[in-house]
Structure 1
Amino acid sequence: MAETIFAPWDDPTEKPLIRFRNVTKRFGAFTAIDDLTLDIFEREFFALLGPSGCGKTTMMRMLAGFETPSEGTIELAGQDIAAVPPNKRAVNMMFQSYALFPHLSVYDNIAFGLRRDSLPRADIDARVGEMLKLTRLEKFARRKPHQISGGQRQRVALARSLAKAPKLLLLDEPLGALDAKLRQATQFELMDIQEKTGTTFVIVTHDQEEAMTVASRVAVMDEGRVMQVATPERIYEAPESVYVADFIGDVNIVPGTARAVGDGLFQLNWAEDTVPFIAASEGAFSEGQACHLAIRPEKIAISAERPPEAENAVHGKVLDIAYLGNLSTYHVELPGGQVIKAQTANTRRISRRSFTWEDPVWVSWTKTAGVLLDQ
């Protein structure tokens, strides 16, 4: 039996767990969230991604109950949560600093919330045991936070947040304090734990790679507005604006004017005295409309001769080379002064590069390699 793909957002009969409806949040004259409407579904690992000050933490604080909307409503499981105090919501928040109690053992940190709810001791024991097992901390139960590593402290904070089985767990830059290698390992652990518990996770991050790794869907934010909500794959391959294309990964943005030349095909006039580029697009562009071609460096080939079959090919010279171990990125200057980045995988060990600085080269790509954007 084929595994069904998890995509409740594509199913009109699915009811969202969280609904933001026309939510605006102002602090004095400053608008932190601007008329935001958004659905998040049960069991989702949802990422709020954007630069500092874009409103993602304000959204999370409103879900947790630390802030209230100036306008609009936020529903959790069909209930307007505006009047529900933070400690009565089926929501838990894991902070960037972990906020562990330094004088309590790992076991007691995880048990803290359960004890406050006056649960029977046997139930607390069983639940903490489950959480220790889930986060692979059984051996460290008696240690204090300062006696374990940063990655382990992060797991204690997670275990404590999940101990009360919240409907929704909010994670505020949860991996910010970890080094790069540990972050990567922990991202997969987070995904694993989220899948095992079935809890809905909402993560706030400014790290695009993190969002793309862990999330079922990503909301890219800018200045209090959601610019696009989609799966990581769609955000990367089919961005709806230059802002989103530019925010995620590396991209070439070529401005120009459009001209229809066939069914779903457009010419992009990008510089005087140059051959126009050809791009396929499902969107409609009027004659002479200003637009941008967004094209990822890995979709651009670089060669010494003009490829005979190329749908788009342009001559230039190598300006810069960034060697990243697994990849090399060539910055190629075109006749009009524009610079295009082309990426090649370094599949063999290199004794010498195919191209070096100042070399004349051709860069080429297919008509479907880029996305034509009107904003």
Structure 2
Amino acid sequence: MAQTVFEPWNDPDAKPIIQFKNVTKRFGDFTAIDDLTIDIYEREFFALLGPSGCGKTTMMRMLAGFETPTDGTILLQGKDIAPISPNKRAVNMMFQSYALFPHLSVWENIAFGLKRDKMAKDQIAARVDEMLRLTRLEKFARRKPHQISGGQRQRVALARSLAKAPKLLLLDEPLGALDKKLRQDTQFELMDIQEKTGTTFVIVTHDQEEAMTVASRVAVMDHGKIIQVATPAEIYETPNSTYVADFIGDVNLIEGRAEQDGDKVRVAWAEGQPAIVGTTTRQFDKGQTCHFAIRPEKVAITATKPENIANAVKGKIHDIAYLGNISTYHVALPNGHMIKAQAANNRRLSRRSFTWEDDVWLSWTDTAGVLLER
């Protein structure tokens, strides 16, 4: 049986769980969120991604009830949440610091919110045990936070946040304190837990790799505005601007003047270099400034000029970044322009074909890059 794809944002009948409607948030003269309208759907793992100060944490704090919008409304399941106090919302927030009680055991930390809500004792025990199983912490139930690792503390905080079965869980840089290997493992655990509970997760992160790994959709933010909202694959392959292309992953950005013929655009970009040929559905005026964005892994590097390919330029290897599985070559063109190309290292070092100062050809097809207006 074919698995149905989870894409409620493409379903006109799907009702969003969260709606920001023309939301603005000002702190004095500073506008943190600027007229923002966005829908987030049930069971989504939604990532807010952007540099420090772009407004992503302010959005999250408004959802949690720690800040109120200056203008506009935020709806949770169709109801305006502004009048509802933070502790009455079906929303829970997990902080970067985890904020665990050091004197309480793991079990008691998870039970804390349930006890405060006056839940029956046997129900509390059943719920805490369920959360311990979900986060694989059964063996650590009696330990105090200082007796377990950072990754385990992170899971305790998650179990405590999910214990009250919130409709929405907000995660503010939740993996910031973990080392790279543990972060990657924990990202998959988070996705697994989110899928099992069916809770809507909204995560704030400045780590693009994390957003691309965990999220069903990513909102890329800058200066209080959302620049693009799309699936990780769409954001990577078809960014809507140079800002998004540059923020996500590695990219070559080349500015030039467009000359369009049907779906083909020739970009005049450097004296003495052939025009770059790209394919697009956008319309460009003759001579309009445009940007050609191409990922390094889409640029082939060869010793001789390739035949029958839309784009080929000659240059000299200026730098090599060896990353184990791949190498990134920084190739200087005669006009001083630098283009990055990536190649998989499927041979041992002694058999590598290119080194510093080698003359090489870079080539790519007319559909390998994206033509952008801004």
The two structures have a TM-score, normalised by structure 2, of 0.99
* Superposition deviation, residue 335 in structure 1: 2.1
Alignment of 1:294 onto 2:330: no
Q: Give the structure 2 partner of residue 308 of structure 1.
A: 307
Q: Give the structure 2 partner of residue 343 of structure 1.
A: 342
For residues 282 and 348 of structure 1, the distance between their equivalents in structure 2, rounded to whole angstroms, comes to: 39
Q: Give the structure 2 partner of residue 193 of structure 1.
A: 193
Q: Give the structure 2 partner of residue 183 of structure 1.
A: 183
1:160-209 CA distances to partner (integer Å, 9 max, x unpaired)?
00000000000000000000000000000000000000000000000000
Q: Give the structure 2 partner of residue 60 of structure 1.
A: 60
Gaps (5+ residues) in structure 1?
Answer: none
For residues 349 and 50 of structure 1, the distance between their equivalents in structure 2, rounded to whole angstroms, comes to: 38
1:63-114 CA distances to partner (integer Å, 9 max, x unpaired)?
0000000000000000000111100100000000000000000000000000
Q: 2:257 is paired with a residue of what secondary structure?
A: strand
**Number of positions where the alignment pairs a residue of Structure 1 with one of Structure 2:** 374
Q: Give the structure 2 partner of residue 168 of structure 1.
A: 168
Q: Give the structure 1 partner of residue 104 of structure 2.
A: 104
The two structures have a TM-score, normalised by structure 1, of 0.99
* Superposition deviation, residue 339 in structure 1: 0.3
Q: 1:306 is paired with a residue of what secondary structure?
A: coil
For residues 347 and 188 of structure 2, the distance between their equivalents in structure 1, rounded to whole angstroms, comes to: 29
Q: Give the structure 2 partner of residue 358 of structure 1.
A: 357
For residues 323 and 210 of structure 1, the distance between their equivalents in structure 2, rounded to whole angstroms, comes to: 22
For residues 108 and 356 of structure 1, the distance between their equivalents in structure 2, rounded to whole angstroms, comes to: 59
For residues 224 and 192 of structure 1, the distance between their equivalents in structure 2, rounded to whole angstroms, comes to: 31
1:105-131 CA distances to partner (integer Å, 9 max, x unpaired)?
000000000000101100000000000
For residues 226 and 197 of structure 1, the distance between their equivalents in structure 2, rounded to whole angstroms, comes to: 28
Q: Give the structure 1 partner of residue 284 of structure 2.
A: 285
Q: 1:165 is paired with a residue of what secondary structure?
A: coil
For residues 205 and 153 of structure 1, the distance between their equivalents in structure 2, rounded to whole angstroms, comes to: 19
For residues 306 and 122 of structure 2, the distance between their equivalents in structure 1, rounded to whole angstroms, comes to: 72
Q: Give the structure 2 partner of residue 46 of structure 1.
A: 46
Matches of residues 1-375 of structure 1 in structure 2 within 5 Å? 1-261=1-261, 263-375=262-374
Gaps (5+ residues) in structure 2?
Answer: none
For residues 69 and 171 of structure 1, the distance between their equivalents in structure 2, rounded to whole angstroms, comes to: 20
* Superposition deviation, residue 353 in structure 1: 2.5
For residues 314 and 199 of structure 2, the distance between their equivalents in structure 1, rounded to whole angstroms, comes to: 53
For residues 119 and 275 of structure 1, the distance between their equivalents in structure 2, rounded to whole angstroms, comes to: 72
Q: Which residue identity does 2:122 align to in structure 1?
A: A
Q: 1:151 is paired with a residue of what secondary structure?
A: helix
Percent identity (aligned): 74
1:217-270 CA distances to partner (integer Å, 9 max, x unpaired)?
000000100000000000000000000000000000000010013x21000000
